[in-house]
Structure 1
Amino acid sequence: MLESLIQLLQGAKHIEVFTGAGVSTLSGIRDFRGTGGFYTAAWHGLSVEDLLSLHVFRDDPSLFYGWAREFLYRLKDFKPSIVHTTLAKMEQNGLIRGVYTQNIDQLHQKGGCKHVWEIHGSPESHTCLSCKAKSSYDDVVGDVMANKVPLCKTCGGVLKPDIVFYGEQLEGKLLDRAYRDMASADVIMILGSSLTVQPAASLPMATYYHGGKIVIVNSQETPLDKYAKVRLYDLQETFAVLNSWLDQRNPGI
């Protein structure tokens, strides 16, 4: 199947990439819905859905920040994996146009990708719930790691990371762009996503409905497996092969 994947990529003119939490497990970040993932265990009696819900955050933001310290405010501790760096090589080589990701860990950018669209937002900035002033990730990380709720320097209000919580809408313009890009793609590579969080999980079907091919590399089954032209399970093995193929194809990249 790896040979089939390479043949598919070689013959495509427009390849899009859609990634989920599974691509970051190789960097040491726990998956969300996989075995041992964030969603499989409660935190202080609360589910992750509760911790990431807007109304719970407004009621007691310390719950979210206490939970999020484990990974969201330790991002400097995590390094890009072979998936992130190989996708950057593919972008440099003109094989892919960029990456649409459900992830909020910024590892695609660290890995070298220049065009990354974060469907679920980014912790790079935080917004005051009171006056809407912005603060950067670096401005708040010290307080979070010191077990404090970060507050706005302008008005003292609570700062919320600019990631999409349950109860918030995804950015409409970004979703429209993603749909158009995937609808025009010859191939969509779905990597490390369980494809269960809507509406983002439905976007790759735009490729299929418009005659393109679906590639899925994920350790767990997904709702779109039956539509996949190539279905693989091991990201590490797949991207080791793709990285070697790229090196042979373009020794200077």
Structure 2
Amino acid sequence: MTSQPSSAPGPGGGRAGPAADVGRWFSTATRNPLDGPGPTRGGPRLPAWGPMEGAQYGHRSTDAEIDAALELLRGREVAVLTGAGMSTGSGLPDYRGRDAVPRSPMTYQEFMGHDLARRRYWARSTVGWEQFRGARPGPAHRRLAALSPDVFETTAVITQNVDGLHTEAGSDPVIDLHGRLDRVRCQQCEALSSRLALHRRMLAMNPELAARLPQLAADAAQAPDGDAEVDRTSSFRYPPCPLCGGILKPDVVFFGESARREVVSSAFAALEEATALLVLGSSLTVQSGLRFVRAAGRAGMPVVILNDGPTRADPVATVRVHGRLEDLLERWLSRAGARR
């Protein structure tokens, strides 16, 4: 699922600037020649992600097809699996849609093994954090929350997103399969802390960047490939864990890292309680999400997929619906007469 990046509602209900492109924070760390000698990259480089070659976007299924998918789910216990397409309406760009900017994702091994990679990550995310935390639930988040329990009973919303917007929109329970960006976890002692508190601390440690933060944030929001000036901040300072001195990392799953075992177990438990699986806004490119579709298939469970653009599970979907999520879910709400 994809759309043009939009302005996210601000805390007071008004419109804020475009939310930060979180994917750019995870771009692989490359050495800028101005930084002097050093590694050309911090670790193994993955192929660049971007729009799927040859994929068709913008197609919308007929009303009859959309309604048939609703009837298949109505009155059931449904596990919902969501991806980045859910949050494009909140101004958070996706990875694989037609408007996605190609990028090589940073790996867990790169972040943990190289100081340069950590400096680059924290510098970029410090610039984008204020924008990111201003993102608010979009129409797709709110309409999904409104469907349960009037239309179907949700055993859980299992989300691959790290923005916390499903919870804010009122979905319950929500399983954050890949963690959340508003938390930080020490990689040595496992202590959790607030990303906002760390943000304030890093601004204090980097007063020159802090003084130029509004300008850098505006530049980063306009640059499709990230802010080059931020990329040159090899002198950016970041703190260790205050409890044990270990490496602090956002409490999210990086590429090359496995989701936490207890979280995955909770997600499979929610799938086992369900009698149908609904996939929203995910290309299912990575195994982390695709495995739930495969498990549903093995259990003989119907799988309904709503997405703009192809998914890896299209051949096995019971019903495949194309279109913008907010429009498709609005159609379901109108047909079902669900309370808002």
TM-score range, shorter chain: 0.7 to 0.9
Q: Distance in 1 between matches of 2:98 and 2:239?
A: 32
- Judging changes above 3 Å, is the alpha-carbon distance between structure 1 residues 70 and 6 closer, same or farther for their aligned structure 2 residues? farther
1:195: how far off? 0.6
Q: How many residues align?
A: 241
With the length of structure 2 as denominator, give the TM-score of the two structures: 0.64
1:224: how far off? 0.9
**Amino acid aligned to 1:90:** L
Alignment partner, residue 177 of structure 1: 266
- Judging changes above 3 Å, is the alpha-carbon distance between structure 1 residues 67 and 33 closer, same or farther for their aligned structure 2 residues? farther
Comparing 53-62 with 217-226, greater Cα deviation is found at 53-62
1:149-196 deviation line (CA, Å, top 9, x unaligned)? 354344555421111123332222332332343245322111111111
Q: Distance in 1 between matches of 2:295 and 2:83?
A: 17
SS at structure 1 position matched to 2:163: coil
State which of 309, 314, 320 in structure 2 corresponds to 1:220.
Answer: 309
1:129-160 deviation line (CA, Å, top 9, x unaligned)? 45543321221233456465354344555421
Alignment partner, residue 89 of structure 2: 26
Q: Does 1:118 align with 2:184?
A: no
**Amino acid aligned to 2:165:** L
Map 1:179-198 → 2, pairs under 5 A: 179-198=268-287
Q: Does 1:5 align with 2:69?
A: yes
**Amino acid aligned to 2:81:** F
Q: Which runs of 4 or more aligned residues in structure 1 lie more than 6 Å from their structure 2 counterparts after TM superposition?
A: none
Structure 1 vs Structure 2 CA RMSD = 2.5
1:119: how far off? 0.9
State which of 181, 185, 201 in structure 2 corresponds to 1:127.
Answer: 185
Whether the 8 Å contact between 2:82 and 2:281 is mirrored in structure 1 is yes
- Judging changes above 3 Å, is the alpha-carbon distance between structure 1 residues 5 and 72 closer, same or farther for their aligned structure 2 residues? farther
Q: Distance in 2 between matches of 1:24 and 1:153?
A: 33
1:226: how far off? 1.4
Alignment partner, residue 109 of structure 2: 54
Q: Distance in 1 between matches of 2:198 and 2:112?
A: 16
1:212: how far off? 1.4
Whether the 8 Å contact between 1:99 and 1:116 is mirrored in structure 2 is yes
1:101: how far off? 0.5
Runs of 5+ in structure 1 lacking a partner? 42-46
Q: Distance in 1 between matches of 2:333 and 2:132?
A: 25
Work out the percentage of aligned pairs sharing the same amino acid.
Answer: 30
- Judging changes above 3 Å, is the alpha-carbon distance between structure 1 residues 134 and 223 closer, same or farther for their aligned structure 2 residues? closer
Instruction: Pick the structure with greater CA Rg.
Output: 2
Q: Does 1:245 align with 2:338?
A: no
With the length of structure 1 as denominator, give the TM-score of the two structures: 0.83
- Judging changes above 3 Å, is the alpha-carbon distance between structure 1 residues 151 and 230 closer, same or farther for their aligned structure 2 residues? same
1:208: how far off? 2.0
Q: Distance in 1 between matches of 2:163 and 2:82?
A: 12
1:114: how far off? 2.5
1:27: how far off? 1.0
Alignment partner, residue 252 of structure 2: 163
Q: Distance in 2 between matches of 1:35 and 1:115?
A: 31
Runs of 5+ in structure 2 lacking a partner? 1-64, 204-209, 211-235
Map 1:93-112 → 2, pairs under 5 A: 93=150, 95-112=153-170
State which of 72, 76, 88 in structure 1 corresponds to 2:145.
Answer: 88
SS at structure 2 position matched to 1:165: coil
Q: Distance in 1 between matches of 2:269 and 2:192?
A: 30
Alignment partner, residue 198 of structure 2: 140
Whether the 8 Å contact between 1:183 and 1:206 is mirrored in structure 2 is no
- Judging changes above 3 Å, is the alpha-carbon distance between structure 1 residues 134 and 236 closer, same or farther for their aligned structure 2 residues? closer
